[in-house]
């Protein structure tokens, strides 16, 4: 099936590690032009090299902290200068530090809020200014099944991801008249297969600090599909929602979690 993504201009934030890396490579295999926005330029450049080998029509890297609107605007300008426009935005950046809410501090709340929610606001705001006049575009934001189920040790993170779900539905309703589709993908526990798939700033740089092997085994056994998610599982859903194959789908929240949540 032709997904209609060849030569389309795609921005993937946090494209240097784990799920973001898999998303970049999935778009590359469709022949898209991909801008990797990341604070870890070295890791992003390594993924860019992989994307070129995978068949991307063009690849570029933008140093970008999504919590800084000026840096986000610079990334979008770099994309339009290099690729002639922006067809798809993937709001992928996310970060958390697992601990019970009573163990957290206001400084940690602020970081989680800015990285996970304000970054999405900055990128979506900038994307809409480009997409609305051109009367087309697709935005896919990465949320989490923690936003749908509630998950111990992820109180603030889950709250921000729930905010993304609601925000994207509103943006879909407000901007559908301009041909802009907005959807959300909610991963469950999704771990990289190899340490080389994550950069130094990734929350997965030390997997054992997130989940011990024993905890991951318990998670897998609790899921209907009996396995932990891999980045490619999420990337496949993202590419579909960004593609012409999903041309009549907007305002939806899709779980890609092995059946952790089943919400009708």
125 is annotated as an active-site residue: no
Give the active site residue among 76, 157, 240, 260: 157
CA separation for the pair 110, 215 (Å, rounded): 28
Which residues have C-beta within 8 Å of that of residue 134, sequence separation ≥ 6? Answer: 85
Provide the annotated active-site residues.
157
């Amino acid at each position: 099936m032709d997904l209609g993504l060849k030569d389309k201009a795609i921005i993937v934030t946090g494209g240097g590690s784990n799920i973001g890396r898999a998303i970049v490579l999935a778009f590359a295999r469709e022949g898209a032009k991909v801008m990797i926005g990341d604070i870890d330029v070295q890791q992003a450049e390594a993924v860019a090299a992989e994307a070129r080998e995978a068949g991307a029509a063009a690849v570029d890297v933008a140093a970008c902290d999504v919590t800084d609107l000026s840096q986000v605007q610079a990334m979008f300008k770099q994309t339009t200068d290099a690729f002639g426009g922006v067809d798809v935005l993937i709001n992928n950046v996310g970060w958390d530090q697992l601990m019970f809410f009573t163990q957290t501090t206001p400084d940690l709340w602020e970081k989680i809020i800015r990285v996970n929610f304000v970054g999405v606001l900055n990128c979506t705001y900038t994307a809409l200014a480009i997409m609305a006049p051109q009367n087309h575009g697709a935005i896919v934001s990465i949320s989490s099944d923690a936003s749908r189920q509630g998950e111990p040790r992820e109180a603030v993170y889950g709250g921000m991801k729930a905010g993304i779900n609601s925000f994207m539905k509103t943006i879909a309703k407000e901007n559908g008249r301009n041909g802009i589709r907005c959807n959300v993908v909610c991963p469950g526990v999704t771990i990289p297969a190899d340490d080389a798939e994550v950069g130094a700033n990734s929350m997965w740089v030390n997997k054992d600090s997130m989940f011990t092997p024993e905890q991951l085994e318990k998670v897998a056994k609790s899921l209907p599909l009996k396995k932990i998610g891999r980045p490619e599982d999420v990337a496949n859903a993202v590419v579909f929602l960004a593609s012409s194959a999903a041309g009549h789908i907007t305002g939806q929240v899709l779980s890609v979690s092995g059946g952790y949540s089943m919400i009708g």
